[in-house]
């Protein structure tokens, strides 16, 4: 039986999942709408002069995109991992699920009221800057509510996991359950470890910060901002890897749904690789603090070296996923590279998966220089940072989630995909936009364009290259990405509300895996090694380039 | 002994590495929670 046929969910659990998924898509739409205003302000050729609006839009855009789109969609994936991938088994407590949803929705509402009441604090809300805005408490309170929501849905998920153990006192029953569950469900358990860690850190960070912003607590004005930043970076670093795990877990489901491929390696290997994230993520948070003068240089170098560990599990997962497809296609008789031509490129969920993996590789290779002790201080305040984070967040993670949403909306709403023709274009358009954004934005960053500044002409003193680089980055890349986002939202909305109803045994059109007849057993996947080799080569090239730039920099640090 | 009997009598096939996954999960949970509590103590506002 294919995975698509196995996907089942109880109507009550489905309602909760739809609530999470649709609120997440709404947050994404809101983030995209604010991105349009940012693009109009920051692109020199559009010449929209609204610097007062800039920081409000930037704060709203990042909170909606990075915090709430992910918080909601990942909670939906957590529920899917506990129910849909377990052949429709029930969530441990539906009531707790709805309470968690209510907390997260309250966090979103509180934060948006704060943003539009003038808390231009960016998503970081660092003191002492945050003290300047009267609406700041709403930002800290919103984050607190969201952290509670995330902790509650994770407790619900882990409670569900315990119901799968036949004999709770038997160690073997626990081990057997972990061996039996889907790779992606195991990944969700690993992500839960990080969510709990992040939840504890968020409560510890934003609880006192909220009371401080209300004037109920006073801290040393010299040490509090520094301590806030340290705790923030510990939490924020771990947060990054929740989408990483969720995205790769989603990729394992998508590869099965879109190609019918099964892993040729033991499931335990993929599961063990997921375990390495919570193992290597906490000790590597130092790479966010490369510009902190209070941390000794040797500690920063250790942080740089440890950060290299982060790529290893992701690279190996990508090899397994690509290998699954290669083995499936070559078992059907296709040649060494010929199998690539026969992949279901017109299935928007499959192209979301492959384009997501491509943008993941591009963004990952751009991070190399941002993790190193010598280059990070020079580049972290430049546009090189948004140039990598957008292909990582809007590309890799969001694209792969979008691929699953294509299935989710058709299966759960029992409707055909509306606008299949434009849905087919959407992942490619978004990827092309993000590649333009990444390349031109990285060049802009290396040329010194600042990261969070509304107006970059500096009265005509800025280098001429900054103008055309930002015109290409945002004027072309940014606008195309927004168009791709609008297509996704329209297709999702129209499918949910006006898509043709599916007959009980009917499969969604354009999303079915290709029918392949196995002609031979194929157990080796050499082509799947190629993306990893290219990735390592690109990282080395970028590092050499960055160190070349340092030598030509007019100011030397350290 | 009880585990041995259960292993011998269970109808479900066992996959290699289940023990590694179980103990690995326990270890990384302890590592993460321990590390975050230790770090928060270090960075706690005075």
Mean pLDDT score of chain A, rounded to an integer?
Answer: 91
CB contact under 8 A, B21 and A220: no
Which chain B residues contact residue A230 at CB under 8 A? 39, 42-43
Task: Output the pLDDT for position A302.
Answer: 79
Listed range (A283-297, A442-456, A516-530) with the worst mean pLDDT: A283-297
Nearest to B15 among A172, A234, A267 (CB): A267
Is the Cβ–Cβ distance between A243 and A393 less than 8 Å? yes
Confidence of residue A524 (pLDDT cuts 50, 70, 90): confident
Which of the two residues, B16 and A45, has the higher pLDDT score? Answer: A45
**Segment A218-233 mean pLDDT:** 88
Q: Does residue A159 have a pLDDT over 90?
A: yes
For residue A2, pLDDT beyond 80? no
Chain B CA closest to residue A278: B28
pLDDT of residue A180: 92
Residue A281's CB: how many other CB atoms inside 10 A? 27
Q: Is the predicted pLDDT of residue A556 greater than 80, yes or no?
A: no
pLDDT at A506 exceeding the cut of 90? no
Do residue A170 and residue B15 have CB atoms under 8 angstroms apart?
Answer: no
The pLDDT of residue A519: 83
| Mean pLDDT within A54-62 | 96
Helix axes B18-43, A171-180, angle to 10 degrees: 90
pTM above 0.95, yes or no: no
- The answer to whether the CB atoms of B6 and A201 lie below 8 A apart is no
Supply the ipTM of this predicted assembly: 0.84
User: Per-residue confidence at A558, pLDDT binned at 50, 70, 90?
Assistant: very low
Residues of B in contact with A234 (CB under 8 A): 36, 39-40, 43
CA separation for the pair A36, A65 (Å, rounded): 13
- pLDDT tens per residue, range B1-46: 455 555 544 445 456 788 899 999 999 999 988 888 887 775 555 4
Residues in chain B closer than 8 A to A279 (CB atoms): 24, 27-28, 31
Residue pair A380/A417 in contact by the 8 Å Cβ criterion: no
Tell me what pLDDT residue B45 has: 52
Q: In this complex, do A176 and B3 lie within 8 Å of one another by their Cβ atoms?
A: no
- Bigger pLDDT: A387 or A5? A387
The span from the CA of B36 to the CA of A430, in Å, is 37
B10 with A173: CB under 8 angstroms?
Answer: no
Q: Are A478 and A34 in contact (CB under 8 A)?
A: no
* Interface test with chain B among A155, A167, A178, by most B beta carbons within 10 Å: A178
Q: Are A275 and B21 in contact (CB < 8 Å)?
A: yes
Alpha-carbon gap: B20 to the closest alpha carbon of chain A (Å): 8
- With bands split at pLDDT 50, 70 and 90, how would you rate the model's confidence at A348? very high
């Amino acid at each position: 039986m294919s995975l698509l046929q196995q996907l089942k969910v109880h109507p009550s659990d489905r309602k909760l999942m739809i609530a999470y998924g649709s609120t997440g898509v709404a947050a994404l739409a809101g983030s995209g709408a604010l991105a349009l205003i940012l693009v109009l302000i920051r692109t020199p050729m559009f010449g929209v002069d609204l610097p007062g609006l800039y920081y409000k839009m930037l704060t709203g855009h990042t909170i909606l995109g990075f915090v709430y789109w992910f918080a909601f969609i990942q909670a939906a994936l957590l529920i899917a991992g506990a129910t849909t991938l377990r052949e429709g088994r029930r969530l441990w407590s539906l009531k707790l699920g709805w309470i968690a949803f209510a907390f997260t929705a309250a966090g979103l509402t509180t934060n948006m009221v704060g943003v539009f009441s003038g808390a231009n604090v960016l998503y970081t809300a660092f003191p002492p800057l945050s003290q300047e805005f009267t609406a700041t408490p709403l930002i800290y309170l919103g984050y607190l509510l969201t952290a509670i929501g995330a902790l509650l849905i994770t407790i619900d998920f882990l409670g569900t996991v315990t119901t799968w153990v036949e004999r709770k006192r038997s160690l073997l029953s626990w081990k057997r359950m972990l061996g039996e569950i889907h790779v992606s469900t195991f990944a969700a358990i690993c992500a839960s470890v990080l969510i709990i860690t992040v939840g504890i850190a968020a409560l510890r960070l934003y609880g006192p910060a909220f009371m401080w912003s209300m004037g109920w607590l006073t801290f040393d004005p010299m040490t509090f901002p520094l301590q806030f930043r340290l705790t923030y970076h510990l939490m924020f670093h771990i947060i990054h890897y929740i989408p990483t795990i969720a995205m790769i877990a989603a990729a394992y489901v998508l590869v099965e749904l879109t190609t019918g491929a099964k892993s040729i390696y033991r499931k335990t290997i993929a599961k063990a690789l997921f375990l390495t994230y919570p193992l290597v993520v906490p000790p590597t948070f130092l790479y966010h603090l490369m510009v902190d003068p209070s941390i000794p240089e040797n500690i920063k170098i250790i942080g740089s070296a440890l950060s290299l560990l982060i790529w290893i599990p992701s690279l190996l997962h990508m090899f397994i996923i690509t290998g699954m497809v290669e083995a499936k296609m070559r078992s059907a008789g296709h040649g060494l590279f010929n199998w690539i031509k026969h992949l279901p490129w017109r299935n928007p969920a499959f192209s979301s998966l492959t384009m997501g993996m491509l943008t993941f590789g591009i963004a990952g290779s751009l991070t190399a220089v941002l993790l190193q002790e010598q280059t990070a201080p020079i580049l972290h305040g430049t546009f090189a940072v948004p140039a990598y984070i957008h292909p990582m967040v809007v590309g890799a993670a969001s694209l792969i989630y979008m691929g699953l949403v294509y299935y989710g909306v058709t299966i759960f709403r029992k409707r055909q995909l509306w606008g299949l023709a434009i849905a087919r274009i959407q992942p490619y358009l978004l990827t092309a936009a993000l590649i333009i954004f990444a390349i031109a934005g990285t060049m802009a960053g290396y040329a010194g364009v600042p990261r969070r500044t509304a107006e970059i002409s500096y009265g005509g003193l800025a280098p001429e290259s900054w103008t055309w680089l930002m015109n290409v980055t945002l004027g072309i890349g940014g606008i195309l990405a927004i168009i791709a986002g609008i297509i996704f939202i329209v297709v999702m909305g129209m499918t949910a509300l006006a898509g043709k109803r599916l007959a009980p045994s009917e499969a969604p059109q354009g999303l079915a895996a290709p029918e392949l007849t196995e002609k031979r057993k194929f157990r080796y996947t050499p082509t799947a090694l190629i993306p990893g080799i290219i990735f390592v080569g690109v990282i080395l090239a970028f590092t050499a380039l960055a160190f070349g730039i340092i030598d030509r920099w007019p100011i030397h640090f350290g | 002994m009880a585990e041995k009997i259960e292993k011998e009598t269970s109808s479900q096939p066992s996959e290699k590495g289940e023990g590694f996954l179980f103990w690995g999960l326990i270890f990384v949970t302890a590592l993460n929670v321990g590390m975050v509590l230790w770090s928060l103590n270090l960075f706690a506002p005075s």
